[in-house]
Each structure stands twice: as structure tokens, then as C-alpha cells.
Amino acid sequence: MAVDQRNVQQILDRVFARQDMEEACRRQDLGAILRICNHHGISQGQLANLIGTYQGRISEYIKGKRSPSAKSTFERVADGLGLPLHLRRALGLAPDGGPGAAKRTDGLIPVADTFDLQLLAKEIGRRGNSVKRRDMLAMVAQIGTTTAIAQSEVLDRLTYAIAKPNAMDETIVREMEARSTGFHLLEEVMPARSLIKGLTAHLGEVGTLLNGTAYDPDNELRTRLIVVAGESSVLTGWAASDIGDATTARNLYATAEKAAREAGDLGIAACAMGYRSYIPSTKGAHGRARALLARALELVSTTTSPGTVSWLAARHAEESAALGDTVSALNSWGRADEAFSIADPEEDRVWTRFLDQNRFDSYRITTFSRLGKLDEAQETASAVLARLTQPDRKKAAIILEGIAGAHLSRGSVGEAAKIAKDGLAVVRETEFAMWLPRFERIANGLRRWPRQPAVRAFLEDLAITKRQFISSPR
């Protein structure tokens, strides 16, 4: 009879010390590795939960019906079982991982596959607020040990709801809403290329559910699903834009605006226009960007979503400043500041969750630097740097670029280059390619001082970063 879960680790520790286990690893005989564990009291079901697969697959390995040779399979088993260093080396794997560890696929948050990503988004969304990276890693580890069970439960519910539209209930809709919220929170800590896989799968499931229900403006569950489709479409568009696919991004933003009209939720359309404004902005077309933002601001008010108004008005101020329109920039900034003073992003729309004090201040830095108000920009930059203790997210790349630009405007060349170099490190870590053109503009302003060590280091770093993105599959 299989032992309790709490005793599994004790058995594994004893099994890992056996000579036949080391020999099985050297032969890369996955079936033998699992047979040894099973023989000493760990059930096939427990092995499946540890590794994150189906019990039937474990049975096939043990019986020799499957003999995998892919390194990714060995890594998944080694991470799930928590193989010690000497056995990982015997198996031909790198000396990382640990008990319950999930394979890292994105450089930031280790998620094994698309379904795990959907589970993670749902769990984060249920919490309803930002999750510290440490807590998120713990959640990933927990998801890794329960994927098989959770997958069965979720797929059963979805399959039933899709096959019988009338069976769509509050539970399914709440799950989709939680996922949407979770994906918006994950966007800050995961590269777009990893996030977009889970988002696409999520949108597909939402679309299938919607296609199975007839149009009915009085069907509250259907309307809520349309809102989920809109909120998820704008985020998927943002991710597509980040990986350089502007055409797909525009199509997704158009889908979001269509969902907004059908659900009677103009906030989604405003968000889509706000995201779309970054496409022309990164190409220097500030007039087109500002026009989109002006249209977006017509759709929302501080009564319905102060966080959205604050974000859009701050962006409008940035673009107006880039156009040299001081009056419009200051007027828009006043509106942004007023809305931010009453905004609570945690209680507002899902896309406003990113708008904390540091991110809001980054708009202030960019706007005031472009207007030539360098003292105000520098004062804000100093305050942000003092608070920005762990610049390891996409938000930090945006903030550091703004601060570097403020220093450059003041003529503080060395400081601008140092901070820009720190920002580039975050861009590489998060694969936030969308923001690379902004650092290139800073580089253009620094090329007049190529002999300064800090400038030379930044320019070399920029060249390395550009090569990384060119060589990466996108």
C-alpha cells in the first residue's frame, strides 16, 4: 500500500542513495528510475503528481511502453522528484532544480506549460491584488504538484459547458474572470513570448463558450464573458505588439473594441486605444498617438474609472510634450494628477493594476523632461530611484528609461548612461523589446561623448541587447 504524501520525501531520500538508482540515471533509463521509486512505496499516482503528468503516462514508463529520450522529459522528472546534484549530473542535466521545482522557460517565473500558466493566472486573479515574486514562485511549485488533478477538473467543467451552452454557470464565468485578472498581473513579470501562449489558449476557450450561446442582452453571464474577452484581447494585443507583431496587435485591439460595444463597456475601448497609442509613439508619430488618446479620454470619466483616466491623461501629457505643446501637456497632466489622487488601481479595472506611484511618476518624469522643466523631473526621478529597490520587472525598464532621459536633458551624461545601462539589463531580463527604441533614442543623445567610460559601456550594452533580440525567435 502506498505511503502518505508526507512520507514520500523520506523514501525519496533513501532511494536517491541507492547504487541502482545512480546506475539507472547513468543509463538515462527513465522507466528504471520510476520503477525503483514505485518498488519502494511511492505510488504511480504520487509520482504523477510530483512530476506533473498523468498516472497512465507513468504506468507506460514503468512498463517500458514508452522510453523517452528528450532532455526536457528528463528535466521535468528530475525537477519533480527533486533529484540531488550527483543524480542530475549522472542523468546529464545541469545542477539546478529542486523538490517540486518547475522548469524555467522564461527567465523570470518558471512555468512548465500553457495549462500551468492558465492555472497560475487564475490563482493570482482570485487573490485580486499584486503578488510578490517570492509568493508567485511558491504558487508555481504548488501548481506543479497538482496539475494532473486540476487539469482534469477544469477540462471536465469546460467541456461540459462548451458541449451544453445552457450549462455555463457562475463557476465557469468566475474562473474566466479570475484568469483575465491574473494575466494582467502576470504581464509585469513575464516576457510577452511566454505570456501570449497562455493568453491565446484562454481567448480560445472564452470564444468557444461565447460561440455556443445565442445573443441575449439580458444574459448577464454572457455579457460578463464578453467583458472577459475584451479585457483579455487588449492584453494579448499588448503582448503581440511587444514581440513585434503590430498587425496582430491592431486586430486584437479591434476585437476588444467590438467586445466593448457589444457589452456596453466603453472602458475596454478606451483601454484598447490607450494600448494602440504606443505603436505610433515608438515610431515617433506623436500626433497620431495623441489623437488616439484624446478619443480614449472621451469614453471614460473619473466617476467610472479614475485609474483609466489618470493613465490616459498622463500618456496624453507625454505625447503633447513630445509635440512641444506645453499648454496641452500641462492641462493633461493636471487632469492625470487629479484622477490619480482618487484612484485605487486595486479596486479599478484590471488594466489599471500597473499604475502605482512609481509608474505614475515615470510619466511625470518624461513629460516634464520634454517640457524643459528639468528641476521638477530630477526631483521626481530622485524620489523614484530611492523607492525602486528591486528593479526586476518591465515597469522598472520604463521608469529607468525615463530617469535616464531626465538626466540627459540636464546634461548629466555619465549618470544618464549608468541608469540607461541598468534599464537595458531589465529589458534583456524581461525581454521587453517594445521599449528598446526608447533606449536607442537615449543612445543617440549620448553618442557625442563616446570616450566617457559610462557612455561607452552603455553603447556596448545596447549593441549586445539588440543582437539578442535579433537572434531570438519571435
Last residue of a domain, one of 336, 355, 374: 355
Number of domains the chain contains: 4
Q: What is the pLDDT of residue 149?
A: 35
Shared domain for 224 and 281, answered yes or no, is no
Residue-wise DSSP of 81-92: HT--HHHHHHTT
This prediction's pTM = 0.64
405: pLDDT strictly greater than 80: yes
Please tell me whether residues 293 and 422 are part of one structural domain.
no
Mean pLDDT lowest for which of 88-97, 154-163, 374-383, 400-409?
Answer: 154-163
Do 123 and 239 reside in the same domain of the chain? yes
Q: How far apart are the first and last CA of the chain?
A: 49
282 versus 7: the higher-pLDDT residue is: 282
Contact between 225 and 209 under an 8 Å Cβ cutoff? The reply is yes
Query: Does 150 share its domain with 252?
Result: yes
Q: Is 373 a member of any domain?
A: no
Which of 217, 242, 264 finishes a domain? 264
Asked if residue 133 is part of any domain, the answer here is yes
10 plus 26 within the same structural domain: yes
**Environment class of residue 204 by beta-carbon count within 10 Å: exposed (0-12), middle (13-18) or buried (19+)?**
exposed
The answer to the question of residue 104 being in a domain is: no
For residue 441, tell me if it sits in a domain: yes
Say if 405 falls within a structural domain: yes
* Domain co-membership, 229 together with 158: yes
pLDDT at residue 331, rounded to an integer = 97
pLDDT attached to residue 324: 93
Per-residue pLDDT reduced to its tens digit, 20-73: 999 999 888 999 999 999 999 898 888 877 786 767 788 889 998 888 777 778
Say if residue 373's pLDDT is above 70.
Answer: yes
* Together in a domain, 162 and 233: yes
- The span from the CA of 265 to the CA of 66, in Å, is 51
Find the mean pLDDT for residues 432-458.
90
For the segment 346-364, what is each residue's pLDDT rounded down to a tens digit?
A: 789 989 988 888 889 989 9
> Residue 206 has what pLDDT?
86
Report the C-alpha gap between 115 and 295 in whole angstroms: 37
**Is the residue at 257 inside a domain?**
yes
Residues 229 and 252 in one domain: yes
279 and 241 in one domain? Answer: no
Range with lowest mean pLDDT among 18-22, 127-131, 419-423, 449-453: 127-131
Res. 314: pLDDT tops 50: yes
> Considering 309, 336, 355, which residue would you say is the last residue of a domain?
355
Task: Tell me, yes or no, whether 106 lies in a domain.
Answer: no
pLDDT in tens, 224-239: 999 999 999 999 999 8
Domain range for residue 448?
387-474
The burial class, CB within 10 Å (0-12 / 13-18 / 19+), for 128 is: middle
Q: What local confidence, expressed as pLDDT, does residue 367 receive?
A: 94
Q: 85-132: per-residue pLDDT in tens?
A: 888 888 887 655 443 343 333 334 444 455 566 766 776 676 655 555
Do 255 and 279 belong together in one domain? Answer: no
The CATH number for 278's domain is 1.25.40
Q: 3-class SS at 96?
A: coil
All cell numbers assigned to 174: 468566475
* Shared-domain flag, residues 269 and 245: no
On whether both 26 and 74 belong to a single domain, the answer is yes
Position 65 in a domain: yes
